[in-house]
Structure formats: C-alpha cells, structure tokens
A and B are shown apart, each in its own frame.
Chain A
C-alpha cells in the first residue's frame, strides 16, 4: 500500500512570495489533515478535510493560508504572502475515516522563508 505522498520535499522562498504544497493521501482515505511543525515543537493541526469538506480550520491563518481538496482526493495548501515565521515542516496526514482511525503521515515539506 502506497503511503501519503507530498511534494516538494524542500522549498526556499523569500518573504512576501507565495508557495504551494501538494498532498496525495492513501487511496480510500476520506480524511486529510495538514499540520505545521515549527522547529522544536510538535505538529499543529491547520486544517482537516472530510472528503472535500472542511471539518476543522480553526487554527488556519486564513488571511494568508488557504487549502483545498478538490474531488475529495488530492489537496493543496497555499501560503500567500509568506512570512518569516512560516518557516516550518508542513505535514500531510490521512485516515480512513475520522473517529478512531490512525493518522498516517507523509514525509513533509520543509519550507524556509528568507
């Protein structure tokens, strides 16, 4: 079974530029999560999708971050414009459903904002 795929693996941009990350969850997984992990901290949930609907985006900075999950499969997370404090690893995870199912994580995208 293929795992969660993410691209790119690394990205370096300057502040005020925009950037987009892509995630392909495990086949058949209805729920998709985007996490932000700042150095020295644990992952923090940014947004959770159930199929193509948003379940929780309470910690997503909506003035600069946006995410979509078209057709309930792949997802993209965008930052526009980026700030220095957005430097982090962005992790995508998926689970079969929502309740007791294990979340499986992708390798992450390491973003550096200069």
Chain B
C-alpha cells in the first residue's frame, strides 16, 4: 500500500532550464507535504514544505505546488543548477500527535552542464 508515489525514477534537464518533479498521494488525511533532497552517502536534507491548506509555497529557486483535488504535488526548480543533481524524495505527514512521514520512492535528478 504505497500512499505516496513518485512515478518517475529519474529526470535529466539542462542547466538553466526548469526541473519539475512530481508526486501523487492517496490519503486525504495528510496535512503537510515536504520535499527532501539526498546526495550519495548522506542523509536526506529538508528542502521545502507546504501545508495542505495552501496551493503554493516558494523559497528562492524552489516552488512547490499542491493540487488537492488531484492529490498531486510538484516541485519546480528554476533555474536548475548542476549542484541540484540529487535524489528528491516527496514525503507526506499524517496529522495528529506524531510527526510521522510517509516517503515516496524518490526521483534522481541529473542537471547537465
């Protein structure tokens, strides 16, 4: 039962162009969505998040869009830089007393110089 899905295992874009990473979810009880970035041999690092009551959140080159009716969110990186090359995990938080995160399987982004 995969509640958070990232259907694209990999994505390749040219430096300076836009990167769009997608994520779908099934559980309407998620109250927060997060993106984590992971370099090889390191732990995931928090990138950006969005509350379920918002439809957009922006932080510098990174913007996350949430479409609740479609149960879909996306991460836009503009402009893409070679240092953005990493695995990006979408995660969703179950509301309530815990801070439990459900992660997707990740998308490997390669930004070509």
Top 6 closest pairs, chain A to chain B, by CB: A42-B103, A105-B43, A98-B99, A102-B46, A105-B44, A43-B103
| 19 sample A-B contacts, Cβ–Cβ < 8 Å, listed by A number | A40-B105, A42-B4, A42-B104, A43-B44, A44-B103, A45-B100, A48-B99, A56-B98, A56-B100, A99-B97, A100-B32, A101-B99, A102-B49, A104-B45, A104-B46, A105-B36, A105-B43, A106-B43, A107-B43
Q: A42-B106, A100-B32 are in contact. Are A105 and B100 (CB under 8 A)?
A: no
A107 to B98, CA, bound (A): 23
Q: Can you name 15 extra interface pairs (CB under 8 A) apart from A43-B103, A48-B99, A91-B44?
A: A4-B43, A40-B105, A41-B105, A42-B105, A45-B101, A48-B98, A48-B100, A56-B100, A93-B43, A99-B99, A101-B99, A102-B49, A103-B99, A105-B43, A105-B45
Interface residue B41 (Cβ < 8 Å from any Cβ of A) = yes
Q: Which residues of B contact A107 (CB under 8 A)?
A: 41-43
Interface residue A95 (Cβ < 8 Å from any Cβ of B) = yes
**Set A93, A98, A102, A106: member contacting B98, Cβ < 8 A:** A98
* Interface residue total, chain A, C-beta cutoff 8 A: 25
Summarize A's interface: helix, strand, loop or mixed.
loop
Q: Which residues of A contact B32 (CB under 8 A)?
A: 100
B interface, size bucket: 20 to 34
Shortest CB distance B5–A (Å): 10
Interface residue A31 (Cβ < 8 Å from any Cβ of B) = yes
Cβ contact within 8 Å between B43 and A108: yes
Residues of B that sit less than 8 Å from A by CB: 4, 32, 36, 41-46, 49, 89, 91, 97-101, 103-106
Interface residue A20 (Cβ < 8 Å from any Cβ of B) = no
Q: A43-B44, A103-B46 are in contact. Are A98 and B97 (CB under 8 A)?
A: yes
Q: Which residues of A contact B36 (CB under 8 A)?
A: 105
Q: Which residues of A contact B49 (CB under 8 A)?
A: 102
Interface residue A55 (Cβ < 8 Å from any Cβ of B) = yes
Residue of A nearest to B99 (CB): A98
A113 to B106, CA, bound (A): 24
